[in-house]
Structure 1
Amino acid sequence: MTERVTLITGASAGIGTELARVFASNGHRVALAARRADRLATLADEITAGGGAAPIVIACDLEQPDAGDKIAAALAAEGVEVEFVVNNAGFGLFGHAIKLDRDEQLGMLAVNIRALTDLSLRFSDHLIRHRGGILNVGSIASFLPGPGMAVYYASKAYVLSFSEALRGELAPHGVRVTALCPGPVPSEFQARAGFLPGVDSLVLNVSPADVALAGYRGLMANKRAVLPGVGIKIVPFLLRFFPRGFVLSVVGRYQLRKR
């Protein structure tokens, strides 16, 4: 019987690292993909030392068009098939879209959308064969327009929409698809995005470990979407009561105060 693995992207930090730990602690052999090989190796050693199966380490940049090919080749060389895909890799950039570097923003789309879509589809035959699943990491931004982080918010709206539609298509095959949509999480994401945590981080804050555990449990329970933490769950509910234009204005004013 072919060995099965859980592929986790962006596993070198933050939520990705915690997702690797929680999957490994629940008996999954993990394949870790990210740019920083040294961090992946350290995480792999930690998992092995804790009694987990030896992870497969795949150092690659998800921003590059051939990232999917490199991941597939590495897994084929190990003789494994993918049971679960965890698309966690992603980043944001804070500022007006017309003022930010265009190439950097296109790179964001390559990671947040193209790589996620590629890996979700590329291993679909494996997922169907093993009745596995996909965990796509979105954000509370998936539900909102985001002046001040326009491209990032739009990319996360894609993640939620794509995940929900793919869930409908794959459900007849026994494959679960879950969107994990956390609020602000203390991690390297905020530093790379270029803003300091604000009051939202204090009110809606959930640790990376708690987000990862909620995502794992949600996927195993075949939930459509997971919003970790009590505070974050009310945001989509509240949005029903306000016109889109009002929400756009409020988010825009709030984002600009982070500068």
Structure 2
Amino acid sequence: MINLKKALITGASSGIGEIFSYELAKRGFGTVLVARRYDRLEAISNRIERDYGIVSTPLKADLTSESDLLRVSESLNEVDLLINNAGFGMIGQFEDLETDREMQMINLNIGALYYLTKKYTLCRVGIGGGVINVASTAAYLPVPGMAVYAATKAFVLSFSEAISEELKSKGFKVMVLSPGPTKTEFFDVASGGRKKLPGSMSPEEVVRRALDSFEKGKRSVVSGVINKVIATGSRLVPRAVALKAARRAFED
């Protein structure tokens, strides 16, 4: 078991990332909180230091910016646990969604996660550490209406499971977390406020189960019994049937 003392969390200004920050502080981790919204980060850091007596550092960064990404990577050598949570989704027909915005999504969901994981691994050679990459149940099936988002999360799932096997003999624990619908602002942002899906789990439940599973050495975790059934079932039912069902979920 790796002795974890300090965590860096991306996308820490809201949702699952914010809850990771609080839960890790409860468990005795110092935190480095990364996001674009510095006022939110500062408020969260202040609350952590006040309520838990744990050092927390806000770090403003846009992880689609190469210079910001490099600056964040310079903090990784002293980090025992890296949580790549930053990401966003877009809901809509492929031909209707803005190309530049979709490229930002690819750069954040895939590019930044890959880069930070790579830099973390390189700077911790001989030391080891922990990585939790946040994917989605959308990683388990192509999703019409969220085609690019689901594809980015499929990368996160495949990449994380592969390097988990590669790196375990070198002192690294890598886990991929695949939440289903969660009560956060995600779908409001993804749809521009036009669509809301019911949140079956609170972010607190998702995070607690994720950290408990990480401590047990799990490689891949799907949060929630129903979501596990969906993720497993998507690989068992005929592809055409699964695609039609996924499409109906996102049609207006």
- So what's the TM-score if we normalise by structure 1? 0.90
State the distance in 2 between where 1:84 and 1:187 align.
23
Unaligned runs of 5+ in 1: none
State the distance in 2 between where 1:123 and 1:208 align.
26
2:35, 2:61 within 8 Å by CA — same for their partners in 1? yes
State the distance in 2 between where 1:180 and 1:82 align.
19
Q: Which residue of 1 aligns with 2:177?
A: 180
Q: Which residue of 2 aligns with 1:156?
A: 153
Q: Which residue of 2 aligns with 1:142?
A: 139
Q: Write the deviation string for residues 88-143 of structure 1: whole angstroms up to 9, x where unpaired.
A: 00000000121100000000011100000011110114444443211000000010
Alignment of 1:229 onto 2:228? no
Displacement of 1:50 in angstroms is 1.5
SS state at 2:78 partner: strand
Q: Which residue of 2 aligns with 1:197?
A: 196
Deviates more, 1:60-69 or 1:205-214: 60-69
State the distance in 2 between where 1:242 and 1:213 align.
31
Q: Which residue of 2 aligns with 1:24?
A: 25
Write out aligned runs for 1:1-259 (5 A). 5-73=6-74, 75=75, 81-194=78-191, 195-198=194-197, 201=198, 205-256=200-251, 259=252
Change (3 A) 1:220 1:52: farther
Deviates more, 1:14-23 or 1:228-237: 228-237
Partner AA of 1:226 in structure 2: V
Partner AA of 1:196 in structure 2: K
1:29, 1:52 within 8 Å by CA — same for their partners in 2? no
Partner AA of 1:250 in structure 2: A
State the distance in 1 between where 2:43 and 2:122 align.
31
- Runs of at least 4 residues of structure 1 off by over 6 A? none
Deviates more, 1:218-227 or 1:141-150: 218-227
1:83, 1:130 within 8 Å by CA — same for their partners in 2? no
SS state at 1:50 partner: helix
1:17, 1:43 within 8 Å by CA — same for their partners in 2? yes
Partner AA of 1:6 in structure 2: A
State the distance in 2 between where 1:66 and 1:93 align.
25
- Size of the alignment, in residue pairs? 247
SS state at 1:216 partner: helix
Deviates more, 1:61-70 or 1:98-107: 61-70
State the distance in 1 between where 2:133 and 2:66 align.
19
- So what's the TM-score if we normalise by structure 2? 0.93
1:33, 1:60 within 8 Å by CA — same for their partners in 2? yes
1:6, 1:85 within 8 Å by CA — same for their partners in 2? yes
Displacement of 1:68 in angstroms is 2.1
State the distance in 2 between where 1:61 and 1:120 align.
16
SS state at 1:66 partner: helix
SS state at 1:123 partner: helix
State the distance in 2 between where 1:234 and 1:45 align.
39
Displacement of 1:9 in angstroms is 0.1
State the distance in 2 between where 1:187 and 1:5 align.
25
State the distance in 1 between where 2:37 and 2:86 align.
12
Unaligned runs of 5+ in 2: none
